[in-house]
Amino acid sequence: MDALVSSIVTSVVQSLMAPLKKQFGFLISSTKNFNDMVEKMAQLNLTERDIRDKWEYAIARNLEVSHHVSPWLEKVKETNEKAQSIPKGGIGCFNVAKKYKVGKESFNVLEEIQALETWKSKIVFTNVQRPLAEIVSTSTSPLTSTLGGSTQNNFKSRDS
């Protein structure tokens, strides 16, 4: 009986430890998460400027542009605003709730930055020029046809 209770308690405690470790990690690693976020955000901003320059160049030259560029740039802007909204004073204080909040928000922004870096790999710039217009051909019967040198109209109202 003791072995059964012990195995149940052990499995419950182990299943609760992973989420608790993650939550304590936000508190303990808040300074590291914040500093990593600042560094990665600076790198992402440089990448964003580079992609924006390539995008503007491609638009000006009427080149093919990946449909991922515009939403990616918007998401980078949103992520940058989130990173700017995290209070810098919260990482060095003794207020546990503030320190936890900074650690968690910094970690979340780091995950968004990682997702943006993965998404960036889908952005492709080429030197292929976009077509100026698309010509759509329709198969219609000709209005007039030549039969034996005379012109015949294909209008039902003119049959008589």
Q: Which of 57-61, 82-86, 88-92, 146-150 has the lowest mean pLDDT?
A: 146-150
SS3 track for the chain = CHHHHHHHHHHHHHHHHHHHHHHHHHHHCHHHHHHHHHHHHHHHHHHHHHHHHHHHHHHHCCEEECCCHHHHHHHHHHHHHHHHHCCHHHCCCCCHHHHHHHHHHHHHHHHHHHHHHHHHCCCCEEEEECCCCCCCCCCCCCCEEEECCEEEECCHHHCC
51 pLDDT tier (thresholds 50, 70, 90): very high
pLDDT per residue over 137-154, tens digit each? 666 555 555 555 555 556
Give percent of the chain with pLDDT exceeding 70: 76
| pTM, rounded to two decimals | 0.67
Q: Is the pLDDT of residue 127 over 60?
A: yes
Give percent of the chain with pLDDT exceeding 90: 33
